[in-house]
Amino acid sequence: VQLQASGGGLVQAGGSLRLSCGASGSIFSISDMAWYRQTPGKQRELVARIRSGGFTTYVDSVKGRFTISRDNAKNTVYLQMNSLKPEDTAIYYCAADLTTVDGRRYYWGQGTLVTVSS
């Protein structure tokens, strides 16, 4: 079982990026899916989370700019990031609460770098 994230890159301030993260393997069910981010010297921060029923939460700094969504048929979570700011620069990690043959636990993706230039 693994989570594979993609979509990071370099963008100018005010631009947009869309991150994707797919879960693969012998997965019985997926509960929460989320995106976190981390910059050097700081703790990993929860950016957005989406429940299995679609309920979403966001950190205050991205409200109105980022949108998290999921495609349950594809076991994939997305993060649409608009009006990007230099302070959004970070490594973004996807995570998911998965139930597999080994039980239920939180899985992490490998991280994708987002760099926003001013």
pLDDT (tens digit per residue) in 5-19 = 999 999 999 999 999
Residues 82-92, mean pLDDT to the nearest whole number: 98
Query: What percent of the chain is modeled with pLDDT above 90?
Result: 100
CA neighbours within 13 Å on the CB side: how many for 81?
32
Closest CA to 47 of 10, 100, 12, 84: 84
Average pLDDT over residues 65-82: 97
Contact present, 8 and 18 (Cβ < 8 Å): no
Q: Is 62 helix (H, G, I), strand (E, B) or coil?
A: helix
Residue whose C-alpha is closest to residue 32's, from 73, 74, 68: 68
